[in-house]
Amino acid sequence: MVGGLFIIITSQNYLKKVVGLAIFQTAVFVFFVSLAKVLDGTAPILTKMANAYSNPLPHVLILTAIVVGVATSALGLALVLQIYKNYETIEEKEIESLELKSDK
């Protein structure tokens, strides 16, 4: 998770920033699902054999969150493409220098 945050802040490339965001999210999902684990439990599908199930509630929340996360990264990618169309680069420093130039 911290790795993802690190990538977001340090990398100049905007596509890599979007990837860092996705990694950050996925790490949080793994944390949530690990809270739901019950030792000796099985997946929460009711059968006659099993007597302990892992907690289905975080699974539901994460199902929702995964799909929303993909929507977010799709939006981010669209933004990156639009930035590329306008500036012809996706490196942060280059865009900054272009902005400074156009202000003068």
Partner 1 sequence: MNFLLINFFLISLLLVTTFFIFKTTSLISVVALTGAFTLLCSAIYVNLDAVDVAFTEAAVGSGISTILMVMAAAKLPEGKKNKLINLFPSIILAVAISLILIIIIANLPLLGDPNAPIHLHVVPEYLKESKDFFHIPNVVTNILASYRGFDTLGETIVIFTAGLGVIALLTSNTLNRKTNFKKNKKK
Find the binding residues for partner 1 in span 60-89 (CB under 8 A).
60, 62-64, 66-75, 77-82, 84-87, 89
Shortest distance, position 32 Cβ to partner 1, whole Å? 9
Rounded to whole angstroms, the Cα distance separating 25 from 77 reads 16
Q: Which residues pair with 13 in a beta bridge?
A: 91
Shortest distance, position 95 Cβ to partner 1, whole Å? 10
Contact 7, 17 (CB under 8 A): yes
Shortest distance, position 49 Cβ to partner 1, whole Å? 12
Q: How many other β-carbons are positioned within 10 Å of the β-carbon of residue 28? A: 15
Q: Which residues pair with 91 in a beta bridge?
A: 13
Buried b (16+ CB within 10 A) or exposed e, 53-90: ebeeebeeebeebeeebeeeeeebeeebeeeeeeeeeb
Size of the site for partner 1 (CB under 8 A): 76
Q: Is 5 in the site for partner 1 (CB under 8 A)?
A: yes
Q: Is 97 in the site for partner 1 (CB under 8 A)?
A: no
Shortest distance, position 99 Cβ to partner 1, whole Å? 9
Question: 14 to 53, contacts with partner 1 by CB under 8 A?
Answer: 15-16, 18-20, 22-23, 26, 29-30, 33-39, 41-47, 52-53
